[in-house]
Amino acid sequence: MKTYNPELYGFKWADEDGPRFQLEPQGYRGYIEARPVRQLNVRK
């Protein structure tokens, strides 16, 4: 999560907009973390 850049896909981190949560770790995948994002203004 520290090295992931959502701006490559037209979004930016928006931690102040909503909660952050983690799903229970499973032996085959570890844990999954979710963070809120906000869409960047894209010119069309």
Give residue-wise pLDDT tens across range 5-44.
999 999 999 999 999 999 999 999 998 999 999 999 877 6
- From the list 24, 8, 21, the residue with the least C-alpha distance to 36 is 21
- Number of domains into which the chain is organized: 1
| 1 within domain boundaries | no
pLDDT of residue 44: 64
Amino acid at position 20, single letter: R
Cα torsion angle, 41, 1, 23, 20, sign:
negative
Radius of gyration (C-alpha) of the chain in whole angstroms: 13
| 44 within domain boundaries | no
pLDDT of residue 2: 84
| 21 within domain boundaries | yes
